[in-house]
Structure 1
């Protein structure tokens, strides 16, 4: 058994830790723990990390992925909402990776509300996480908004969520999550994850989503996101109709769409984030002119 293999958690170690903590994984917190060393090694490889990276891990749970990350990067920030799990994680690192345990910082917090100021030590440059199924999209969008130094990420989410987040304009899965993620980053699917590597076994398929930060289009993000929400709230309608409330009237929506070079009869799923940003800017110019 190599040092690396002895460090990582297998099914027996995961169940032993859970038993020690009296842990029963909850659906409310989206807890499904990875117990397969090959899977966490694959995730770390796919994340394309460098030894200088500082990783933010959300929902580390019992530490399966954490232990695989520690040898690969300069530091790991683990954000865990469950105080029992958060208290045990540094001990697990000290027991199974004693020479690397000082690279780990654990913060007990809800990742949906965590801010840069909540994270002590070096600033995270990458997200690598097995995200709870029920909050995958809002967590990714929140962290990208709050941590501008995050350059890339690899997250495990429900397979259909990965499909939606990576979907390009014009595709069936394209919608609010894909358009908003595109404001921050380019995204792609990075492979499936079998159900059998989790305990308990989930009743949905999982997949990996990779993304790389890019410069956002010009414009006010909050206004562009309001526009995206309005456009997709009635996605079967033409943008002239769907955006009547946002613009003030169907005629005002049509004027803004034409000013932005967009066909008023088009639908929301045909627009990329740059087009939404251009439309928001056209509407702002029109409003200032009145």
Structure 2
């Protein structure tokens, strides 16, 4: 007796996407960074790479016309979709009811700017999203800050941004996104997505970035204090830390004192330091100012 493989549920293709866009009179805009995925295999690849548990609540930012949303509903218990475009937000439940009627109750749509949300009706455990290129890093950092329930995720961003988010110390693309991301956990490059799977097709490839949350460094310094050091160090990344941190510390001498107290060479550059070193610098300055160093 031969077994028959079950056919995977249908996902939105190019014809579906253009039909929905036509119904809504939606023209993808650069302002909102709208590039809709029109290839079902790409959606399946993203969902598979995200390694979702069937019991999870997934947060999706910028669901658009619902390409990825359907794939996520197939793999997780619930999807909370945050959409900034009123037309798209209003249409998404109808699309899910049309293509996944049995999953319609598992979708919650929030009409909002993702940078403004600080609470959700269902605490998300995973973030999976095709993020607008121009706000990808701020959105990820904002969500990790405000939703400690997020334990892992996979985001699709501009390929160059993916490299920066996943870079380690010493890498030429290492910078603010790399270090701040490391405060929350481990980020890795998880693949490249070509241009032709989108409508409209972007002019550059996209990259997948996966992350796993871990506990932040143990320190008496606050996250804001550590991030202030990071911002200062990379604002003038060609300068030595003694010079780059002068404004942050109050003077070159005070910057040097904090660096020496943290065990960091004042002539080093920020691109060589990891999150633990930046944390040590913030803590050293705090102790020097309180007279406990």
TM-score by length of 1: 0.97
Structure 2 match to 1:278 = 280
Structure 1 match to 2:8 = 4
Aligned pair 1:113/2:110, yes or no?
Answer: no
Structure 1 match to 2:144 = 144
In structure 2, stretches of 5+ residues that fail to align are none
Aligned length, in residue pairs: 286
Aligned pair 1:49/2:45, yes or no?
Answer: no
Per the TM alignment, residue 39 of structure 1 is displaced from its structure 2 partner at its CA by 0.3
Alignment partners' CA distance in 1, 2:30 and 2:90: 21
Partner of 2:88, secondary structure, is helix
Structure 2 match to 1:78 = 81
Partner of 1:157, secondary structure, is strand
Alignment partners' CA distance in 2, 1:185 and 1:25: 33
Aligned pair 1:66/2:69, yes or no?
Answer: yes
Per the TM alignment, residue 264 of structure 1 is displaced from its structure 2 partner at its CA by 0.4
Structure 1 match to 2:290 = 288
Per the TM alignment, residue 185 of structure 1 is displaced from its structure 2 partner at its CA by 1.5
Alignment partners' CA distance in 2, 1:111 and 1:17: 23
Structure 1 match to 2:236 = 234
Partner of 1:112, secondary structure, is helix
Per the TM alignment, residue 141 of structure 1 is displaced from its structure 2 partner at its CA by 0.3
Alignment partners' CA distance in 2, 1:86 and 1:258: 53
- Over residues 89-133 of structure 1, what are the superposed CA-to-partner deviations in whole Å (9 max), with x where a residue is unaligned? 0000001000011110000000011111xx22x210000000011
Structure 1 match to 2:213 = 213
Aligned pair 1:223/2:225, yes or no?
Answer: yes
Partner of 2:87, secondary structure, is helix
Partner of 1:9, secondary structure, is coil
Give structure 1 regions of 4+ aligned residues with deviation exceeding 6 angstroms. none
Alignment partners' CA distance in 1, 2:133 and 2:245: 31
CA RMSD of aligned residues (A): 1.2
Partner of 1:208, secondary structure, is strand
Aligned pair 1:200/2:200, yes or no?
Answer: yes
Per the TM alignment, residue 227 of structure 1 is displaced from its structure 2 partner at its CA by 0.8
Structure 2 match to 1:127 = 127
TM-score by length of 2: 0.96
Alignment partners' CA distance in 1, 2:248 and 2:79: 42
Alignment partners' CA distance in 2, 1:242 and 1:156: 32
Alignment partners' CA distance in 1, 2:259 and 2:149: 34
Please list, as runs of the form range in 1=range in 2, the aligned pairs for 1:160-175 lying within 5 A after superposition. Answer: 160-175=160-175
